[in-house]
Amino acid sequence: PSTIIYAVTPTYYRPVQKAELTRLSHLFRLVPNLFWVIVEDADETSILVRNLINRSGLSHRSVLLHAKTPSDYKLSKKDPHWSKPRGVEQRNLALDWIKRRVKHEPGHGIVYFMDDDNSYSVELFEEMLKIERGRVGVWGVGLVGALNLEKPIVESGKVVGFNSMWRPERPFPIDMAGFAISCDLFMNNPDAAFSYNVQKGYQESEILRKVTTREQLQPLAINQVLVWHTRTEPSKMDNEMKLAKKNLPPSD
Ligand code: UDP
Ligand code: MN
Protein backbone atom coordinates (compact mmCIF):
# COMPACT_ATOMS: atom_id res chain seq x y z
CA PRO A 1 0.00 0.00 0.00
CA SER A 2 1.28 3.48 -0.81
CA THR A 3 2.21 6.10 1.78
CA ILE A 4 -0.41 8.60 2.91
CA ILE A 5 0.51 12.12 4.01
CA TYR A 6 -1.97 13.44 6.59
CA ALA A 7 -1.99 17.23 6.26
CA VAL A 8 -3.37 18.77 9.47
CA THR A 9 -4.73 22.32 9.09
CA PRO A 10 -6.26 24.33 11.93
CA THR A 11 -8.30 27.21 10.52
CA TYR A 12 -10.55 29.99 11.80
CA TYR A 13 -13.00 32.44 10.34
CA ARG A 14 -11.69 35.85 9.20
CA PRO A 15 -11.98 37.73 5.89
CA VAL A 16 -8.88 36.08 4.36
CA GLN A 17 -9.86 32.52 5.31
CA LYS A 18 -11.46 31.57 2.02
CA ALA A 19 -8.51 32.92 0.05
CA GLU A 20 -6.03 30.96 2.21
CA LEU A 21 -7.98 27.71 1.97
CA THR A 22 -8.46 28.12 -1.78
CA ARG A 23 -4.67 28.35 -2.27
CA LEU A 24 -4.13 25.32 -0.07
CA SER A 25 -6.81 23.20 -1.72
CA HIS A 26 -5.37 23.93 -5.17
CA LEU A 27 -1.95 22.80 -3.94
CA PHE A 28 -3.49 19.55 -2.66
CA ARG A 29 -5.01 18.82 -6.06
CA LEU A 30 -1.40 18.44 -7.23
CA VAL A 31 -0.46 16.04 -4.43
CA PRO A 32 -2.06 12.63 -5.05
CA ASN A 33 -1.19 10.77 -1.85
CA LEU A 34 -2.40 13.44 0.54
CA PHE A 35 -5.32 13.31 2.98
CA TRP A 36 -6.46 16.66 4.37
CA VAL A 37 -7.56 16.87 8.01
CA ILE A 38 -9.09 20.33 8.43
CA VAL A 39 -10.06 21.42 11.92
CA GLU A 40 -12.11 24.56 12.31
CA ASP A 41 -11.61 26.60 15.46
CA ALA A 42 -15.36 26.88 16.05
CA ASP A 43 -18.36 25.29 17.79
CA GLU A 44 -19.41 23.69 14.53
CA THR A 45 -18.15 23.20 11.01
CA SER A 46 -19.07 25.93 8.55
CA ILE A 47 -20.85 25.95 5.21
CA LEU A 48 -18.00 28.06 3.80
CA VAL A 49 -15.33 25.43 4.47
CA ARG A 50 -17.62 22.50 3.56
CA ASN A 51 -18.42 24.09 0.16
CA LEU A 52 -14.79 24.90 -0.47
CA ILE A 53 -13.77 21.26 0.08
CA ASN A 54 -16.51 20.00 -2.21
CA ARG A 55 -15.65 22.44 -4.97
CA SER A 56 -11.95 21.62 -4.76
CA GLY A 57 -12.65 17.96 -5.55
CA LEU A 58 -11.02 16.83 -2.30
CA SER A 59 -14.12 15.56 -0.49
CA HIS A 60 -13.13 11.89 -0.91
CA ARG A 61 -9.70 12.52 0.63
CA SER A 62 -10.39 14.92 3.44
CA VAL A 63 -12.26 15.18 6.71
CA LEU A 64 -13.69 18.32 8.28
CA LEU A 65 -13.64 18.47 12.08
CA HIS A 66 -14.11 21.25 14.62
CA ALA A 67 -12.61 22.08 18.01
CA LYS A 68 -13.00 25.48 19.58
CA THR A 69 -10.04 27.04 21.37
CA PRO A 70 -11.07 27.69 25.02
CA SER A 71 -11.75 31.42 25.52
CA ASP A 72 -8.85 31.82 28.01
CA TYR A 73 -6.45 30.82 25.26
CA LYS A 74 -8.10 32.47 22.29
CA LEU A 75 -6.17 35.32 20.68
CA SER A 76 -8.14 38.54 20.54
CA LYS A 77 -7.63 41.21 17.88
CA LYS A 78 -5.56 43.30 20.34
CA ASP A 79 -3.20 40.50 21.34
CA PRO A 80 0.09 40.21 19.46
CA HIS A 81 -0.12 37.02 17.36
CA TRP A 82 2.63 35.25 19.28
CA SER A 83 1.21 35.95 22.75
CA LYS A 84 -0.86 32.75 22.92
CA PRO A 85 -0.37 29.30 21.43
CA ARG A 86 -2.38 28.75 18.26
CA GLY A 87 -3.81 25.50 16.92
CA VAL A 88 -3.33 23.39 20.09
CA GLU A 89 -6.92 22.14 20.41
CA GLN A 90 -7.29 21.58 16.68
CA ARG A 91 -4.01 19.71 16.11
CA ASN A 92 -4.66 17.42 19.10
CA LEU A 93 -8.12 16.52 17.82
CA ALA A 94 -6.63 15.78 14.40
CA LEU A 95 -4.02 13.50 15.99
CA ASP A 96 -6.74 11.52 17.79
CA TRP A 97 -8.66 11.17 14.55
CA ILE A 98 -5.56 10.05 12.62
CA LYS A 99 -4.61 7.49 15.27
CA ARG A 100 -8.09 5.96 15.17
CA ARG A 101 -7.89 5.66 11.40
CA VAL A 102 -4.30 4.45 11.15
CA LYS A 103 -5.04 1.59 13.57
CA HIS A 104 -6.89 -0.15 10.73
CA GLU A 105 -4.40 0.74 7.99
CA PRO A 106 -1.28 -1.35 7.49
CA GLY A 107 0.45 1.20 5.23
CA HIS A 108 2.92 3.96 6.05
CA GLY A 109 1.45 7.29 7.16
CA ILE A 110 3.09 10.67 7.69
CA VAL A 111 1.67 13.59 9.66
CA TYR A 112 2.47 17.17 8.58
CA PHE A 113 1.12 20.19 10.50
CA MET A 114 0.22 22.84 7.93
CA ASP A 115 -0.88 26.39 8.76
CA ASP A 116 -3.47 27.72 6.35
CA ASP A 117 -1.31 30.79 5.55
CA ASN A 118 2.13 29.31 4.73
CA SER A 119 3.42 28.81 1.16
CA TYR A 120 4.27 25.25 0.19
CA SER A 121 5.97 23.80 -2.88
CA VAL A 122 4.56 20.63 -4.45
CA GLU A 123 8.11 19.24 -4.35
CA LEU A 124 8.04 19.25 -0.56
CA PHE A 125 5.51 16.43 -0.59
CA GLU A 126 7.69 14.30 -2.87
CA GLU A 127 10.54 14.79 -0.35
CA MET A 128 8.25 13.86 2.52
CA LEU A 129 7.52 10.46 1.00
CA LYS A 130 11.16 9.58 1.78
CA ILE A 131 10.47 9.69 5.53
CA GLU A 132 11.18 6.22 6.91
CA ARG A 133 8.78 4.41 9.21
CA GLY A 134 9.39 5.44 12.81
CA ARG A 135 11.28 8.60 11.91
CA VAL A 136 10.82 12.38 11.71
CA GLY A 137 11.84 14.21 8.53
CA VAL A 138 13.24 17.77 8.90
CA TRP A 139 14.03 20.54 6.43
CA GLY A 140 14.56 24.28 6.26
CA VAL A 141 11.75 26.85 6.42
CA GLY A 142 12.02 30.19 4.64
CA LEU A 143 11.12 33.55 6.22
CA VAL A 144 10.95 32.49 9.85
CA GLY A 145 12.95 33.17 13.02
CA ALA A 146 14.06 36.49 11.51
CA LEU A 147 16.15 34.59 8.97
CA ASN A 148 15.94 34.06 5.25
CA LEU A 149 16.16 30.32 5.84
CA GLU A 150 16.05 28.60 9.22
CA LYS A 151 17.41 25.10 8.72
CA PRO A 152 19.02 22.02 10.19
CA ILE A 153 22.80 21.75 9.78
CA VAL A 154 23.60 18.43 8.14
CA GLU A 155 26.90 16.56 8.13
CA SER A 156 27.27 13.15 6.44
CA GLY A 157 23.53 12.61 6.39
CA LYS A 158 22.96 13.51 10.04
CA VAL A 159 21.48 16.57 11.72
CA VAL A 160 24.28 18.00 13.85
CA GLY A 161 22.59 21.27 14.79
CA PHE A 162 20.39 24.13 13.61
CA ASN A 163 21.21 27.60 12.37
CA SER A 164 18.37 29.14 14.44
CA MET A 165 19.05 32.48 16.11
CA TRP A 166 15.71 32.82 17.94
CA ARG A 167 15.68 30.82 21.19
CA PRO A 168 18.37 28.44 19.87
CA GLU A 169 18.40 26.71 23.28
CA ARG A 170 15.09 25.02 22.46
CA PRO A 171 15.42 21.19 22.23
CA PHE A 172 14.21 21.46 18.59
CA PRO A 173 14.67 25.08 17.43
CA ILE A 174 12.55 24.72 14.27
CA ASP A 175 9.18 25.86 12.97
CA MET A 176 6.08 23.65 12.71
CA ALA A 177 6.41 23.74 8.89
CA GLY A 178 9.91 22.24 9.08
CA PHE A 179 9.13 18.64 9.98
CA ALA A 180 6.74 15.73 9.42
CA ILE A 181 6.31 12.69 11.64
CA SER A 182 5.83 9.00 10.80
CA CYS A 183 2.44 7.83 12.15
CA ASP A 184 4.09 4.87 13.90
CA LEU A 185 5.63 7.31 16.35
CA PHE A 186 2.19 8.52 17.44
CA MET A 187 0.95 4.95 17.84
CA ASN A 188 4.00 4.07 19.97
CA ASN A 189 3.92 7.31 22.01
CA PRO A 190 0.22 7.82 22.73
CA ASP A 191 0.79 10.81 25.02
CA ALA A 192 2.56 12.86 22.32
CA ALA A 193 0.40 15.99 21.98
CA PHE A 194 0.47 19.77 21.92
CA SER A 195 -0.04 21.65 25.18
CA TYR A 196 -1.05 25.12 26.41
CA ASN A 197 1.41 24.70 29.23
CA VAL A 198 4.60 25.50 27.30
CA GLN A 199 6.70 28.61 26.82
CA LYS A 200 6.38 30.70 23.69
CA GLY A 201 8.10 28.92 20.79
CA TYR A 202 8.23 25.52 22.49
CA GLN A 203 5.21 23.90 20.78
CA GLU A 204 7.43 22.17 18.18
CA SER A 205 9.82 20.95 20.87
CA GLU A 206 6.87 19.74 22.96
CA ILE A 207 5.66 17.32 20.31
CA LEU A 208 9.09 16.31 18.95
CA ARG A 209 10.70 15.49 22.31
CA LYS A 210 7.91 12.93 22.93
CA VAL A 211 8.56 11.02 19.69
CA THR A 212 12.21 11.40 18.70
CA THR A 213 15.73 12.62 19.51
CA ARG A 214 17.95 15.01 17.54
CA GLU A 215 20.16 12.09 16.55
CA GLN A 216 17.26 10.20 14.95
CA LEU A 217 16.08 13.08 12.72
CA GLN A 218 16.06 12.41 8.98
CA PRO A 219 17.27 15.47 7.02
CA LEU A 220 15.45 16.13 3.73
CA ALA A 221 15.31 18.81 1.01
CA ILE A 222 18.98 19.60 1.61
CA ASN A 223 20.08 22.82 -0.14
CA GLN A 224 16.48 23.53 -1.12
CA VAL A 225 13.74 25.83 0.17
CA LEU A 226 10.34 24.21 -0.29
CA VAL A 227 8.21 25.97 2.33
CA TRP A 228 7.94 29.56 3.54
CA HIS A 229 6.41 30.82 6.75
CA THR A 230 4.44 33.58 5.05
CA ARG A 231 1.80 35.51 6.98
CA THR A 232 -1.15 37.27 5.40
CA GLU A 233 -1.81 40.85 6.35
CA PRO A 234 -5.32 41.26 7.85
CA SER A 235 -7.46 43.00 5.26
CA LYS A 236 -9.15 46.32 6.02
CA MET A 237 -12.94 46.16 6.16
CA ASP A 238 -13.88 49.72 7.21
CA ASN A 239 -15.77 50.47 4.01
CA GLU A 240 -18.13 47.51 4.44
CA MET A 241 -20.19 49.41 7.04
CA LYS A 242 -20.33 52.52 4.84
CA LEU A 243 -21.41 50.42 1.88
CA ALA A 244 -24.21 48.84 3.90
CA LYS A 245 -25.50 52.32 4.88
CA LYS A 246 -25.73 53.34 1.21
CA ASN A 247 -28.20 50.48 0.69
CA LEU A 248 -26.19 49.06 -2.19
CA PRO A 249 -26.04 45.28 -2.61
CA PRO A 250 -23.45 43.66 -0.26
CA SER A 251 -19.99 43.03 -1.73
CA ASP A 252 -19.97 39.33 -0.54
N1 UDP B 1 -5.54 29.41 14.06
C2 UDP B 1 -6.74 28.99 14.62
N3 UDP B 1 -7.36 29.80 15.56
C4 UDP B 1 -6.84 31.00 15.96
C5 UDP B 1 -5.61 31.42 15.39
C6 UDP B 1 -4.98 30.60 14.46
O7 UDP B 1 -7.24 27.92 14.27
O8 UDP B 1 -7.45 31.68 16.80
C9 UDP B 1 -4.88 28.57 13.03
C10 UDP B 1 -4.49 29.35 11.78
O11 UDP B 1 -5.54 29.34 10.84
C12 UDP B 1 -3.26 28.59 11.30
C13 UDP B 1 -2.65 28.04 12.58
O14 UDP B 1 -3.69 28.07 13.58
O15 UDP B 1 -3.59 27.52 10.43
C16 UDP B 1 -1.48 28.85 13.07
O17 UDP B 1 -1.89 30.19 13.25
P18 UDP B 1 -1.08 31.43 12.63
O19 UDP B 1 -0.80 31.14 11.20
O20 UDP B 1 -1.83 32.68 12.96
O21 UDP B 1 0.24 31.34 13.52
P22 UDP B 1 1.70 31.86 13.18
O23 UDP B 1 2.02 31.55 11.76
O24 UDP B 1 1.67 33.31 13.46
O25 UDP B 1 2.54 31.10 14.14
MN1 MN C 1 0.95 31.07 10.05
User: pLDDT per residue over 35-47, tens digit each?
Assistant: 999 999 999 999 9
Report the pLDDT averaged over residues 219-225.
97
Predicted local distance difference test score (pLDDT) of residue 1: 61
Which of 1-10, 104-113, 119-128, 231-240 has the highest average model confidence (pLDDT)?
A: 119-128
Query: What is the overall mean pLDDT for the chain?
Result: 95
Would you say residue 123 has pLDDT above 80?
yes
Contact 64, 46 (CB under 8 A): no
pTM of the model: 0.96
| Binding site per annotation, positions for UDP-alpha-D-glucuronate | 10-12, 41, 86, 91, 115-117, 229-231
Contact criterion met (CB below 8 Å) for 112 and 31: no
Q: Is 115 in the pocket of ligand 1 (CB under 6 A)?
A: yes
Please tell me if the CB atom of residue 11 comes closer than 6 angstroms to any atom of ligand 1: yes
Checking if the pLDDT of 56 tops 80, the result is: yes
Question: Residue with the nearest Cα to atom 13 of ligand 1?
Answer: 115
d(CA 244, CA 50): 27
Higher model confidence: residue 198 or residue 1? 198
Say yes or no to pLDDT of 8 above 70.
yes
Q: Which ligand is nearest to the CA of 115?
A: 1
Phi, psi of 241 (to 5 degrees): -65, -45
pLDDT at 164: 98
Cβ(14) to ligand 1 under 6 A?
Answer: no
